[in-house]
Structure 1
Amino acid sequence: MRIERPRLKQALSAAYVLGTLEGRARRRFEQLLAARADLREQVRWWEQRLAPLQDGFVPQAPHERVWTAIDRQINASKTTSLPTTAERRLRLWRTWALLATAACAVLAVGLVRELDRPPPPVQIVRVEVPVVQPLPYVALLRPGESEAQWLVTLSPERRLIRITGAGRFPLDRARESLELWVLGDDGQPRSLGVMPADGDAEMPMPRGLTMPARPTLAVSREPAGGSPTGLPTGPVITVSPAQRAS
């Protein structure tokens, strides 16, 4: 059961508190409650929200004629012979029907009294619900002329780029750099910055850069420090589409 969406967590928590979440789904939800604080917070909120609904109901004794009718139904057909199975079932159903009628009458009285009561003062309850951030874009870049590869993670909401490298790419570090680009929906490249010389790195996304709907990443060889023109000037060594992580 994956319940990361806020509306789904709220719906399952409410069903759990009301008792309408049953069977395997309820058992699975109880297992998740033991491990997840956000679900326990949701359940507490619903318990506090629904608890006032049961206040104000006073138990009511059924009218004497109800019990008289029940006794009459039970003893009306007494004979010296034992009742058949069908007769016993019929009596049982009649008894339950009368008890259910009495319970409905008591509930109706309680509901009428509840409706006559003035509404309680409005209470504003502050509930902090964590905002689920969208998953980042991920692309694996592998230049064909070496064993080097880079895992690039783009988080537009956090304005962060993370690069995890493996292997070495043959490059004259004194005169050359590798530059990371994103191709927009219009096909135009926009620089994301110079790649790290070795290992892993994090760098901020350029200001004003808007991620395209279907981003494609590319790496080009440039003079030391990056392209002097704002566009790729050297050969592009690898290209790969970026996908939302799942």
Structure 2
Amino acid sequence: MAGLLLKSSDCGNCSCTTLSKVRIGGAHEWKKLILTQHWPPTVCKEADSCRNSLDYWTIHGLWPDKGEECNRSWHFNVDEIKDLVPDMKIYWPDVIHPSSNRTQFWKHEWEKHGTCAAQLDALNSERKYFGKSLALYKQVDLNSMLLKFGIKPSVNYYLIADFKDALTRVYGVVPKIQCLPPQQDEQVQTIGQIELCFTKEDLHLRNCTEPGEQLSPKQEAWLAEGAAAQGMAVCEDGPVFYPPPAKTQR
């Protein structure tokens, strides 16, 4: 069934929500939300002017598992989320382009993913989308969870199984973990991104993949795009490097 979205537009000198509705058809129907967090020291391995001194996992995005740019007329307006900006600067920073206009990253995430997530009443405005993303980030508290299991950045290697076991024990679901493959003169992969998935109906944690669940090649390619843009892929079983921030890195 197609969904209906209210369309945001300008009214004089202010932004408002009009009664103009935008239909979200079958091509954009999605089944789950993916909360994607990335590790800044890994993201910054091959990027200049990057915030690789951050020592905590930050939000990459909250993505429906299908569709992008569902409403190209629904433009980002930072004034809609001005009360969230202090938290977003901390938990959802533009790691790769810290010196540029910090709102560009949020604009990209809203227009590419948020306009599709807005099919859900709980996410049908900028304020709801970014607010819920922050709430889910704080709810899962990935940083504290890893520390609880003694998993912290180190010059020594972990096993991917260490991460999988900790995540599954705490959250009770199957996550997706993505790594940067070994670069020149490196022996092991580097952990870079962790995805936790939520149901569309009630935003409860669920497995990112289910037994027998099949994605079309187009869906698989789309879901891999965010990681691939940073050179990442699903981690292989075996050793993994969890790099310390730049100030303490080897």
TM range (shorter): under 0.3
TM-score of the pair, normalised by structure 2: 0.20
TM-score of the pair, normalised by structure 1: 0.20
